[in-house]
């Protein structure tokens, strides 16, 4: 079966009809099929293809675009009414401009010390905006090195964008949602978007786990759960070409456990650490059987979960939970950086039980790629050098994440903590007296107090 006759996503069919009837494409040559519908494809060597090139050249002239190497791509983009199009396969809407990170950008960022996942289906401007909001210094240091320019977190966004988008397109660090393809496709762009192009998929799937096969979000967010088993299960998903998705995102304070829902790549691209109303329903259902949220976020989640009535609420709650996570990590960062025995306290009361998971391996029997469920998890406990390295790395990375928070440039740290001066000094005294149990109790109390005043939905 020819590609063009493959099942089209309904959004893409609607898009084709809309483009053919749009005034910007008035007079563009196309064949008609037996039922009189316009034929989207026309190879350059065909009569229709050649006629399309002539048509585009007239558009180029009227737009005064110079007739250089890339004139077809430039003109097709210039006349495109929205500069975005849905994917033929999955319907995912993507920009036609050069705004998505290419694999070599992701790789260079890692090489220059930014170890986090960059979503190759997320607009790089969004990624920069988030990194700026969260004041992620390591992001801007790596970015500056990759773009060979003095970039800091304090440069205004629009200035960053102009700098980066132009160089990014030039150096092929950024790419479009769909490559240009005129006259073969009537709109001048490949029908498959980046989300469903084979080569891009693979990079994307691997990106979930870093080069050690660990999901860094778990140690970065000090999350509960059997992370080792969860990491292993993610690999199983990836083997089936699926992306493993936590219903409750780790970065919002949920656990990293071996329970995922399978997602297509485009679904994950649009999800972006945001919960929907249906995700919240699923979490409430799952919570009847086992915990879904990490100890530190329990209070915030308990406060919010029954107030969420629709998608809008779920989105708002996600944003509150993300901010609450910044608060939590700032408190832990304070303990780590300012309290004698702080590191020992955090290790023995919180991290040590997480490190236990390193000393086992996990296999999954009867995995069902449709549902993401499995019949049985097989656990083999082992003492191997590799596993103690694993544990050591987990611990080191967890503390590195706190270091980033305990920074006078971190506005979460400087804005939130002064409200709780009294509570923090109590915690400090308890830890310094090695009264870890009581200190941990006080930390929990502080997270609860903060959740009560901060984690509620503004009633609409």
Q: Which residues bind Zn ion (CB under 5 A)?
A: 87, 89-90, 92, 193, 195-196, 266
Contacting residues for 49 by C-beta, under 8 A, at least 6 apart: 42, 43, 183, 184
> Which CB, 192 or 345, lies closer to Zn ion?
192
> Which CB, 175 or 248, lies closer to Zn ion?
175
CB of 4 to Zn ion, least distance (A): 16
- Residue pair 321/252 in contact by the 8 Å Cβ criterion: yes
CB of 266 to Zn ion, least distance (A): 5
> Which CB, 189 or 420, lies closer to Zn ion?
189
> Which CB, 89 or 283, lies closer to Zn ion?
89
CB of 39 to Zn ion, least distance (A): 22
CB of 91 to Zn ion, least distance (A): 7
Other Cβ atoms less than 10 A from the Cβ of 368: the count is: 11
> Which CB, 12 or 299, lies closer to Zn ion?
12
Residues β-bridged to residue 362: 379
CB of 193 to Zn ion, least distance (A): 5
In the structure encoding, which two tokens stand for residue 186, read together? 């009537």
CB of 319 to Zn ion, least distance (A): 27
Buried-state track 232-248, b at ≥16 Cβ within 10 A, e below 16: bbbebbbeeebbbbbbb
DSSP secondary structure of 245-314 = E-SS-GGGTB---S--EEE-HHHHHHHTT---HHHHHHHHHHTTTS--B-GGGHHHHHHHGGG--SHHHH
108 by DSSP, 3-state: which? helix
> Which CB, 3 or 385, lies closer to Zn ion?
3
In the structure encoding, which two tokens stand for residue 434, read together? 């090695």
Examine residue 314 and say whether the peptide bond preceding it is cis (omega within 30 degrees of 0): no
- CA 312 – CA 294 distance, rounded (Å): 24
CB of 262 to Zn ion, least distance (A): 16
What are the angstrom distances between the C-alpha of 47 and each of 42, 95, 180, 432, 445? 8, 30, 20, 83, 75
In the structure encoding, which two tokens stand for residue 399, read together? 């503390």
> Which CB, 89 or 131, lies closer to Zn ion?
89
Biggest CA-to-CA distance, the chain: 86
Tell the residue number behind the tokens 């006759």, with chain if given: 5
Residue 49, class by beta-carbon neighbours within 10 Å (0-12 exposed, 13-18 middle, 19+ buried)? Answer: middle
CB of 423 to Zn ion, least distance (A): 49
In the structure encoding, which two tokens stand for residue 114, read together? 């930014």
> Which CB, 87 or 351, lies closer to Zn ion?
87
CB of 322 to Zn ion, least distance (A): 27
> Which CB, 97 or 267, lies closer to Zn ion?
267
């Amino acid at each position: 079966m020819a590609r063009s006759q493959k099942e089209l996503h309904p959004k893409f069919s609607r898009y084709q009809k809309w483009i053919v009837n749009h005034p910007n494409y008035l007079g563009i040559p196309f064949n008609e099929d037996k039922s009189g519908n316009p034929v989207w494809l026309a190879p350059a060597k065909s009569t229709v293809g050649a006629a399309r090139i002539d048509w585009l050249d007239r558009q180029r002239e009227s737009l005064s675009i110079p007739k250089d190497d890339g004139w077809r791509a430039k003109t097709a983009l210039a006349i495109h009414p929205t500069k975005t199009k849905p994917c033929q396969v999955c319907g995912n809407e993507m920009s036609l401009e050069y705004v998505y990170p290419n694999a070599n950008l992701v790789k260079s960022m890692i090489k220059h010390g930014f170890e986090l996942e960059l979503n190759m289906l997320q607009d790089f401007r969004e990624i920069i905006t988030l990194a700026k909001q969260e004041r992620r210094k390591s992001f801007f240091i790596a970015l500056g090195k990759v773009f060979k320019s003095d970039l800091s977190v304090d440069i205004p966004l629009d200035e960053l964008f102009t700098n980066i988008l132009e160089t990014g397109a030039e150096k092929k660090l950024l790419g479009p949602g769909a490559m240009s393809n005129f006259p073969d496709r009537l709109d001048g762009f490949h029908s498959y978007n980046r989300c469903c192009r084979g080569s891009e998929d693979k990079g994307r799937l691997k990106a979930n786990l870093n080069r050690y096969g660990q999901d860094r979000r778990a140690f970065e967010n000090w999350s509960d759960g059997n992370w080792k088993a969860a990491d292993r299960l993610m690999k199983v998903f990836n083997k089936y070409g699926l992306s493993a998705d936590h219903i409750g995102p780790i970065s919002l304070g949920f656990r990293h456990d071996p329970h995922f829902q399978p997602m297509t790549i485009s679904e994950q691209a649009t999800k972006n650490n945001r919960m929907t109303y249906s995700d919240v329903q699923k979490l409430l259902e799952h919570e009847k059987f086992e915990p879904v949220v990490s100890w530190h976020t329990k209070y915030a989640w308990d406060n919010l979960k029954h107030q969420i009535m629709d998608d809008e609420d779920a989105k708002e709650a996600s944003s509150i939970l993300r901010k609450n996570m910044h608060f939590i990590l700032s408190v832990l960062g304070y303990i780590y950086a300012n309290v004698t025995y702080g590191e020992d306290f955090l290790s023995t009361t919180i991290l040590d039980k997480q490190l236990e998971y390193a000393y086992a391996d996990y296999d999954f029997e009867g995995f069902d790629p449709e549902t993401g469920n499995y019949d049985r998890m097989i656990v083999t406990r082992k003492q191997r050098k590799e596993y103690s390295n694993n544990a050591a790395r987990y611990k080191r990375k967890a503390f590195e994440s706190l270091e980033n928070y305990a920074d006078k440039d971190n506005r979460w740290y400087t804005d939130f903590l002064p409200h709780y001066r009294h509570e923090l000094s109590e915690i400090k005294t308890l830890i310094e007296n090695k009264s870890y149990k009581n200190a941990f109790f006080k930390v929990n109390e502080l997270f609860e107090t903060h959740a009560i005043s901060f984690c509620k939905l503004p009633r609409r």
